[in-house]
Amino acid sequence: MEKRDIEVFRAVMRAGTTSQAATLLGVSQPAVSQSLRKFELACELRLFERVRGRLVPTQEAVALMVEVDRYFTGLEMIEHRVRSLKSFGLGRLAIGSLPALGTGFMPRAIAAFGLERRQIQLSFQVMSSREVYQQVSAGQLDFGLMAEELSVTGLEHSPFAKVRGVIVMNTGHPLARKKVIDANDLASHPFIALNPEDVGRRALDDALAREGRTLRPVIETPYSHSVCEFALRGVGMGMAHPVMALDYVARGLLLKPMVFDIVATSLLVFRPGVPLSENAKELLRMMRIQLDTDLQRVREALSGAPPAPPARKASRKA
């Protein structure tokens, strides 16, 4: 089985026809057809049905394509890493984060870290916790931030943030003057809910059920930032990650504590046996400092105090 034949198979599966695959690969259509026949013989599988001049992938072809894509993704990551090492040497970090901490918190921490001063190139990706786990396991990320509820088997890990969910609403909401949101409040007003499979959503549903109450969802969404956007526009109130919600406080979003203790825990994950670079360690230190700052701002927002402006870097003296 030759790599070139696997490349041709992948091109046909992605393009849909041998002619389009030939164009992608820069070869003739007969060469593609010949390579496909050769690949089928090597696999001893029927990978395509020939129906009125069209190639229709079999179930075996679809199953094989999953592994082929995984193989080529690994090769592409190696090529990307080689190019990066040529250009930047070891001065590169690759980090992934779940959305709750990836869209506001991590950019703040990275800005405080100072990439230009350190002459570092950073690859930063916002992705699902499952993707963080997969890419750290595969060595594609130096470290990642993911939710606690997923398995971290095979990875080193440590707690990063453990925070209580907050209720968010705009200043015109009927409950805007309440200090603490209770079960009756949650059940009596339109609610912007996280998706039913979300761990925090399930915990909130269970807590309300014990009080004989249920939510009145008007929207379901997978992300805290969507909850905040909808709440800011007066669609209803919702539960959000407090550090994520900070990004909306200056725009008029209110953060309220609730009677239920719904906790969100995020983990730092690393590959076992692979020591972190000094740059990675320093970034982790800045992340912890930024987390302390953000949690103080959350406490101020929950107390009703005017939000403190984000800290600015001190100017250097000449």
- Lowest-confidence pick of 37-46, 193-202, 297-306: 297-306
Q: What is the pLDDT of residue 143?
A: 96
- What's the pLDDT score for residue 72? 79
> For 107-112, which contacts have Cβ atoms below 8 Å and span 24 or more sequence positions?
108/290, 108/294, 108/310, 109/283, 109/286, 109/287, 109/289, 109/290, 109/291, 110/283, 110/286, 112/286, 112/289, 112/290, 112/313
Q: What is the pTM of this model?
A: 0.68
Res. 151 pLDDT band, cuts 50 70 90: confident
What residues does CATH 3.40.190.10 cover in the chain?
91-160+266-303, 166-261
Which value, to the nearest 10 degrees, does the dihedral of the CA atoms of residues 123, 124, 126, 129 take? 80
The mean pLDDT value for 83-89 works out to 53
Superfamily of domain 166-261: Periplasmic binding protein-like II (3.40.190.10)
For the structural domain made of 3-81, what CATH number should be given?
1.10.10.10
With contact defined as beta carbons under 8 Å apart, do 136 and 277 qualify?
no
Residues of the chain with CATH 1.10.10.10: 3-81
- pLDDT per residue as tens digits for the range 158-185: 999 999 999 999 999 999 999 999 999 9
Give the pLDDT confidence of 281-312 residue by residue, as tens digits: 999 999 999 999 999 999 999 987 554 455 44
Q: What is the pLDDT of residue 234?
A: 96
pLDDT category at 88 given cuts 50, 70, 90 is: very low
- Number of neighbouring beta carbons within 10 Å of residue 59: 8
Q: Which of 42-56, 119-133, 163-177 has the lowest mean pLDDT?
A: 42-56
CA neighbor of 64 nearest in space, from 5, 120, 118: 5
- Residue 61: the pLDDT is 86
Domain 91-160+266-303 sits in CATH at 3.40.190.10
